[in-house]
Amino acid sequence: MAAGRVVVLVFVRTDCPISNRYAPTVQRLSAAHAGKAVFWLVYPSKAESAESIRKHEREFGYKLPALRDPQRVLVKESQVQITPEVAVFDAARRLVYHGRIDNLYEDIGRARSAATTHELEDAIAATLSGRTLSAGTAPAVGCYISDLE
Amino acid sequence: MTRASQALSGFIALLALASVGFAARHATSRRQANPQPATAAREVTFNRDVAPIVFHNCALCHHPGEAGPFPLLTYADVKSHARQIAFVTDKRIMPPWLPDPGELKFTDELRLSDEQIATLQAWVDQGMLEGSAADLPAKPTFSAGWQLGKPDVIVRAEKPYVLPASGSDSYWNFVFRNPVNRSHWLKAIEIRPGDKRLVHHANILVDREESGRRLEKEPGAGFGGMELIIESEAFDPDSHFLFWKPGSPPYVEPDGMALRLEKNTDLVLNTHFQPSGKPEPIQPTLGLYFTDKPATLHPILIQLDNDRLLDIPPGEKNFLVSDDFTLPVDATILAIYPHAHYLGKDLLALATFPDGTKKTLIHISHWDLNWQAVYRYEDPPLLPKGTTISMRFTYDNSADNVRNPNQPPKRVVAGNRASDEMAHLWLQVLPSESADSSVDPRREIQEALALHHIQNNPDDFEAHYNLAALLQMRGNLSGALLQFSEAVRIRPEDPIANNALGAVLLASGQVEGAIPHLKTALASRPDYFDAHYNLGNALASKGDFGGALTHFRAAVRLNPQDANAEANLGSALAETGNLKEARLHFERALQIDPKNELARENLEQLNRETQGHPN
C-alpha cells in the first residue's frame, strides 16, 4: 500500500447541537490516531467567518485545522449531507467511507446512553490495514447541510 | 460500502485553501419531506403561512437565552433549518409534547395540527419562499429578565456544578439553604436553571429535614442523583408540583392556593442535563414570589406506583406495571405527572367512574424521559368518591429500545438510578369539601393511600410511617405504635422512625420501651434535636436527671431557639441541685417564648424555694 496517511474530514456546524455534542469524541479520535490519520474540520456554511470558526473551535476544545467550504466542493467530493458527518479518504485519496461517527444517535431526539458501534474508528482501522470495508455507509444523524446558505 | 467513483484529485492542495471556490449545487436531502397534495396546490410563503406557526409554537424556546439551540425568529433563521424543521415536525419530535390528543385538554399544549405540519412540508417542497413583507406577523417579543417581575427573594446556588463535556446524561441536585427567615405563602417560583440549552427538566423539593444537606460532600457543593427521596416528619401542608421544563413560563398558583414555606426549610433543585460538547458550569437561581393571602384551597398529591412488580427480564418488549387506587372522597384532578425512566414505552392513566364508565386521564404512547413534564388540565375533571384511578405503564427492555441503558439488556428492577426503572404516577387533586365537618377529606385520602401502599408492599417504609403519623394525629396511639413499629422493623436504624416510635411509647407511658429507640435514633444521627429532647424527657421521667441533662444540653446547643428545651434543661438542672444555672435557662425560655408555662411555673417555684436562701 502506498505510504501516506488517512484523511478524515469532519463536517460540522456551529449551531447544530448534535454536531457540537460530538466535539469531545472527534478530538479524542483524532488524538488516538495521531501520526496515522489527519483530521480536518469542515464548516460548510457560507455564513461562518474565520473568526466565528476560531471561536467555535476554542469553545468546544477542538485542536484541529479547520476549513471553510462555502461552495460545497468538499461536501460534494465527500458525498455528505449532514453535520456531523465524516468522510474517510485513504492514502490514494479515494473516499472509503462517509456517514456517521458512531451510533450514539439513532435519530434526532433518540440517543443511546453510549454508542455501541463505532463506524469511523472501524473505517480508519480498515483503511490503515488495507482492508476493504465490509459494512455499507451508515447514515449520519444531525442537521442538513442543504439547509445552510 | 461507499467508494468514490474517482480519486479525489489535488486533495491536499484543495485542503490548504481556507475556502474552496467552485459553484456547487445543493445536495438533495436524504430524508425528503412527504409532499402534501392538499397544501401543495397553493403557494406557501414564510411571511403568511410559516411565520405564524413558528412564532407561536417554536420561538418560545428558540430565541436567544432560551433552551432552543438556535433562534427561530426570522426568515433567515428558519430557512437555515428548514429541512430539519420539516423532518422533526413531521415525526412530531418537535415541538416536544408527549401526550396523545384526547378528550381532556392540558394547558400550554404544544402540539401542531396535521395542517400546520403539512404547511411546513409544503413550504420546504416549494423552495422556501419568503413572500410579501405585508403578510409577516409581528415578531414575538421576549423579556430576558424575571418573567413575573422582580421576585421577593432571589437565591442562587452556592457553588456551580460543572457539567462534563461528554458522556451520558447528568443528574445534579442543588441545595438552597433556608431561603426565607420567616413563614411565607409562596405564589410562584421562577426557576432559572442556568444555561437553558443544557437543562431538560428541573424539579424543586421542599426539604424540612435537611435531607439534601446531609448528602453534600461539602456545604453548598450539591450532590448527584436522579431521584430524590426527601424525608418528612410532617405531612406537606399543601402539595404542589414545582417543575420546570424548557419553554414553560413560571407557574402561578391559582386563586386560593399557595405553598406554605417555613423558615429552616431548604429547597432542593433536582436537575437533568445533557452534555453539550464542552464543559459547562451551571449555577441555578430561584426567584420566590410571595402573597399575603393564605391558602384556602389545599391540594394533595396522590402517588400510584408498584415498584415491587417492576422486575423486567432482559429482552422483554412489553412489560406491564399497573396500580389502581380508589378515591375515598370526591376530588378534582388539577395536574398529572407520569414518570418512568429509559425503558418506559407506553404510559396510560385511566379513571373508572362508579358507574363503570372510563375516561383517559393521560396517554403517552411514545414515552421519552427527556421531555417529561407536569401536565395541568385546562378544565380539571371532578372524580366522584369511588372512582378508581389506574396506572398502566409498559416497558421495553429489549435491545431494540435504543434508549436502553444496558446493552446487552439485563434484568432491571425499581430504583433511583438512571439504569433502574420507575413506575410512578402523581396526581395533584383537590378534595371536595365534606358536608360532614368531622371528616377531613385530605386525611381520608392520605389514610387510604397509606393503606393502599401497604397492601401493595407490606415492606413500604413510608406508608407505615405515614399511616402511623395519621393515626397519631387522630389520637389513636395504639394504632400509631403498631405502624411505627412496622417502620422500624423495615428500617431498624432509621433515626426518624425510631424517634417517632420512642416518642409514642413515651406518650403512652412506656418509658423503658422508648429509651432504646431514642438511643438508636441518636446513634444514627448524633445531631438529632428531637431525639435528644425526647431522650432527655424519657430519662428525666425515670429519675435519671444526670442523663437527662446531657441530652437537654445537646438539644439546646442544636436548637438555641426552642423554649421547651430550655425549660426542660432548667428543670433537670434544678433537680440536680444546680439552681443558679436552672434559673438562667428558665429565664432564657421565657425570653424565647414569654408564654412558656413550664418555664414560668418552674421559675416561680424556684423563687419561692430560694426565698431567703440566695445561692
| CA distances to A62, A85, A119, B329, B382 from A78, in Å | 21, 10, 16, 67, 61
Q: Nearest-CA distance from B368 to chain A in Å?
A: 9
Task: State the DSSP string of B329-352.
Answer: S-EEEEEEEEE--TTEEEEEEEEE
The pLDDT score that the predictor gives to residue B230 is 60
Identity of the residue numbered A137:
T
Contact B531, B502 (CB under 8 A): yes
pLDDT band at B10 (very low <50, low <70, confident <90, very high): very low
Q: What is the mean pLDDT of residues B450-476?
A: 91
B84 CB within 8 Å of a chain A CB: yes
Task: State the DSSP string of B168-212.
Answer: S-EEEEEEE----SS-EEEEEEEEE-SSTTTEEEEEEEEESS-TT
| pLDDT tens profile B554-603 | 999 999 999 999 999 999 999 999 999 999 999 999 999 999 998 999 99
Task: Please indicate whether, in this complex, the C-beta atoms of A72 and B27 are within 8 angstroms of each other.
Answer: yes
The percent of residues in chain B predicted with pLDDT above 90, rounded, is: 71
| pLDDT tens profile B146-180 | 989 999 999 999 999 999 998 888 889 999 999 99
The pLDDT score that the predictor gives to residue B612 is 54
- The reply to whether omega before B328 is within 30° of 0 (cis) is no
Task: Please indicate whether, in this complex, the C-beta atoms of A67 and B11 are within 8 angstroms of each other.
Answer: no
- Residue found under cell 401493595: B456
Q: Which of A39, A52, A93, A118 to mutate to test the interface with B (most CBs of B within 10 A)?
A: A93
B88 CB within 8 Å of a chain A CB: yes
* Stretch 413-432 of chain B: residues touching chain A, C-beta under 8 Å: 418
Contact A97, A123 (CB under 8 A): yes
Q: Indicate the residue of A17, A60, A89 with minimum beta-carbon distance to B8.
A: A89
| pLDDT tens profile B254-309 | 999 999 898 889 999 999 888 888 999 999 999 999 999 999 998 999 999 988 88
pLDDT band at A135 (very low <50, low <70, confident <90, very high): low
Looking at A91-95, B45-49, B52-56, B122-126, which range is the least confident one?
A91-95
Residues forming a β-bridge with A85: A11
Residues forming a β-bridge with B427: B302, B336
Looking at B46-55, B200-209, B316-325, B369-378, which range is the least confident one?
B200-209
The percent of residues in chain B predicted with pLDDT above 70, rounded, is: 91
Q: How far apart are CA B427 and CA B540, in angstroms?
A: 46
Q: Indicate the residue of A59, A71, A110 with minimum beta-carbon distance to B22.
A: A71
- Residue found under cell 467511507: A97
Q: What is the mean pLDDT of residues B46-72?
A: 94
Enclosing H/E stretch for B293: none
B123: helix, strand or coil:
helix
| CA distances to B213, B224, B524 from B161, in Å | 15, 10, 29
The pLDDT score that the predictor gives to residue B174 is 95
Task: Please indicate whether, in this complex, the C-beta atoms of B79 and A134 are within 8 angstroms of each other.
Answer: no
Task: State the DSSP string of B68-110.
Answer: SSS---SHHHHHTTHHHHHHHHHTT-SS---SPP-SS-BTT--
Average pLDDT over all residues of chain B: 88
**Lookup: cell for B583:** 434559673
Task: Classify the C-alpha dihedral B392-B398-B400-B405 as positive or negative.
Answer: positive
* Stretch 440-469 of chain B: residues touching chain A, C-beta under 8 Å: none
Q: Nearest-CA distance from B283 to chain A in Å?
A: 19
Length of chain A: 149
Looking at A64-78, B196-210, B490-504, which range is the least confident one?
B196-210
**Lookup: cell for A36:** 496515522
Contact A98, B2 (CB under 8 A): yes
B93 CB within 8 Å of a chain A CB: yes
Give the helix ranges, DSSP H, for A46-114: 50-59, 73-78
Nearest CA to A84 among A145, A146, A125, A147?
A145
Residue B47, pLDDT above cutoff 80? yes
B166 CB within 8 Å of a chain A CB: yes
Nearest CA to B376 among B272, B240, B267, B260?
B240
pLDDT band at B607 (very low <50, low <70, confident <90, very high): confident
Q: How far apart are CA B468 and CA B488, in angstroms?
A: 11
Length of chain B: 615
| CA distances to B329, B432, B470 from B436, in Å | 12, 11, 19
| Choice between B141 and B35, residue whose per-residue pLDDT is larger | B141
Residue B30, pLDDT above cutoff 70? no
B573: helix, strand or coil:
helix
Report angle CA B605, B607, B608 to the nearest 5 degrees. 65
Nearest CA to B123 among B94, B90, B89, B86?
B86
pLDDT band at A1 (very low <50, low <70, confident <90, very high): very low
| Choice between A118 and B606, residue whose per-residue pLDDT is larger | A118
Q: Is A12 exposed, middle or buried (0-12, 13-18, 19+ CB in 10 A)?
A: buried
